[in-house]
Amino acid sequence: MQSYVKDPKVQKNRWWIIIAVGMFTIMSTLDASIVNIALPVMSKDLHVPMNQAEWVVSIYLIVICALLLMGKLGDSLGKIRVFRLGTVLFTIGSLLAGFNHSFYLLLFARVMQALGASMTMANNNGIIIEVFPQNERGKALGLIGSFVAVGSIAGPGIGGLILGALPWGYIFWINIPIGIITMIVGHFVLPKDLQTSHQPIDWGGFGSYVLAIVPFFLAVSLGQEVGFGKPWIIGLFIFAVLAFGLFVAIEHHRQTPLVSFKLFANHEFTVSLLTGFLIFVTNFFSNVITPFYLENARGFSATHAGYLMMVFPIVQVIIAPLSGSLSDKIGPYFLTLVGLGAILIAQVGYAMWHLASPLWVIIVIIAVNGFGNGVFQSPNNTIIMSAVAPKDLGIAGGLNALARNLGMVVGISAATTTLFAAMSHTAGHHMSTYPTGHNQLFISGMRVAFVVAIILCVIAFILTAYRMWQNRKQTA
């Protein structure tokens, strides 16, 4: 068989395949956000200061983003083979991470988790594209989008529930049975790879990319703590830019580059990738700021705040497959615009929250944001993955996952920096924590932050509307 679509056994198992891929997608994205809520407990148990404990989160994100371009490894050796290896590494890393004996063991385990997660994130969409026929890809990618949403957004809520009953190690150990089940299901339903290029990996390009991405993330992460004006933070950004320039120069002179820049000449691919990045940045404005609003400004308990924030992923989980199915029938372009419109409305709604906003208004705005993302993500992923040749599915999936993770990190940094800068400007002095007893000061900073989110969303909307107009113009 030269195609999974023509293999009756694979087609019989295709929904089991998406379950295996989806279960692991939830785990790998969940572990980027679930740890935040456990940091105070970890800091106390492991006897390390809070700023050091935060590296448990940062090192996971940095390593994932540094390795996501290894989707090229999936193109070369086989996406399913790399995906299987990633599940094993991630599960072993989860086992090690749960032992509370050593902070350095925990950091090592997080690096192992990130290595496994990057191998799976870079190849999950490519596997789905190869397995599902054209008329079902939107629906299938919609389900993967639902799994990403659950993992990315639900972490704090799920982590809070686990910590309420069990030691913090269980936020990692919960992955072990899921990982084992995923491996068992995968053993029976995942087929052998059909398409492998066996091209050598561009290690020079990979090394220069890592030299660019790691200092960039260090600068973003540390800049939030010490300020972006520090000379050594600026130096890290400059080093990252120079290393990225070296990466581009190396790639232009490789016969088999890590990233073929010809991919970006495809406007379908580039605009959808950029739009996806902007929306993930936008999402993390609400993900970062909403807990402050609900818990500090409004006085909800952490549990109740978690329940309210769960409205977003629940709505997205319901809507994303429906949007995917609809995109299979009417095409993805109009749906991406509808989704972006709903997300934009939600950002305006967030900016209008005040200290007496009714509970139903809060729920509706969060739900509208979940609806917009549910409508947008699946068609946008379909455009990205359908715009490239089969031989480039691995690197396209890696770039898509990189845009998602980069958007998450930049969103967290931009949201906190904008929020505290706006509050500092209004208060007339530097602020880096919630202004207890001055709730209105927080509301003013929150509105400035969401104005930035609105601007990002407007840019994404305009890009998508222009692309849709161009497509209609060309087909007219």
Q: How many CA atoms lie within 13 A of 8 on its CB side?
A: 0
Residue 122, both tokens: 């870079």
**End-to-end alpha carbon distance in the chain:** 38
Number of domain units in the chain: 3
DSSP label at residue 190: P
Question: Tokens in use for 351?
Answer: 């900016």
304, 359 in Cβ contact below 8 A? Answer: no
* Alpha carbon distance 322, 386 (integer Å): 19
Coil, strand or helix at 259: coil
Residues 102 and 153 in one domain: yes
Structure tokens given for 331: 């095409």
Going by C-beta distance under 8 Å and a sequence separation of 6 or more, which residues neighbour residue 102?
46
The answer on 237 and 159 residing in a single domain is no
Positive or negative, the CA dihedral 64, 67, 68, 70 is: negative
- Asked whether residue 332 falls in the same domain as residue 195, the answer is no
Residues 270 and 206 reside in one and the same domain: no
Helix (H, G, I), strand (E, B) or coil at 357: coil
Task: Say what the pTM is.
Answer: 0.79
Same domain, 220 and 93: no
Residue 177 CB coordination number (10 Å): 10
200, 230, 246: which is the final residue of a domain? 200
Q: Do 382 and 138 form a contact (C-beta atoms < 8 A)?
A: yes
Same domain, 177 and 313: no
For the four alpha carbons of 163, 166, 169 and 175, in that order, the dihedral sign comes to negative
Please check whether residues 227 and 294 belong to one and the same domain.
Answer: no
Rounded to the nearest 5°, which phi and psi values hold at 259?
-125, 120
- Which of 370, 313, 386 is closest to 134 using CA atoms? 386
CA distance 90 to 43: 23
**395, exposed or middle or buried, with CB in 10 Å at 0-12, 13-18, 19+?**
buried
**Are 39 and 127 in the same domain?**
yes
CA nearest neighbour of 155 among 141, 174, 142: 174
Report the CATH number that the domain containing residue 464 is assigned in CATH. 1.20.1250.20
- Domain span at residue 218 reads 202-255
For residues 110 and 476, give the distance between their C-alpha atoms in angstroms, rounded to a whole number: 52
Count how many Cα atoms sit within 13 Å of the Cα of residue 417 in the half-sphere of its side chain: 18
Same domain, 241 and 262: no
CA 18 to CA 138: how far, in whole Å?
13
Q: What is the Cα gyration radius of the chain? A: 22
The distance between the two most distant Cα atoms of the chain, rounded to a whole number of Å, is 69
**pLDDT tens digits for range 31-75:** 776 776 777 778 888 888 766 777 887 788 888 888 877 667 777
Nearest residue to 133 via CA among 304, 10, 248: 10
Q: Which residues contact 155 (CB under 8 A, 6 or more apart)?
A: 30, 31, 32, 33, 34, 35, 36, 37
Nearest to 445 by CA among 419, 467, 470: 419
Both 115 and 29 in a single domain? yes
Instruction: Please tell me the predicted confidence (pLDDT) of residue 207.
Output: 87
How does pLDDT run across 71-128, given as a tens digit for each residue?
A: 677 777 788 888 889 999 999 999 999 887 788 999 999 999 999 988 888 788 778 8
Q: What are phi and psi of 200, to 5 degrees?
A: -65, 145
Show the low-confidence residues of the chain (pLDDT under 70): 1-2, 33, 36, 50-51, 70-71, 149-150, 152-154, 156-157, 195-198, 302-303, 394, 475-476
The number of beta carbons lying within 10 Å of the beta carbon of residue 469 is: 11
C-alpha of 75 from chain center: 22
Structure tokens at 272: 């959808």
Q: Do 180 and 223 share a structural domain?
A: no
Choose one of 160, 176, 200: the last residue of a domain: 200
pLDDT of residue 113: 93
- Retrieve residue 328's tokens: 């299979």
CA separation for the pair 275, 357 (Å, rounded) = 31
* pLDDT of 451: 96
The whole-angstrom separation of Cα 309 and Cα 299 is 15
The answer to whether residues 304 and 407 belong to one domain is yes
Q: Name the domain boundary from 200, 223, 239.
A: 200
DSSP 70: G
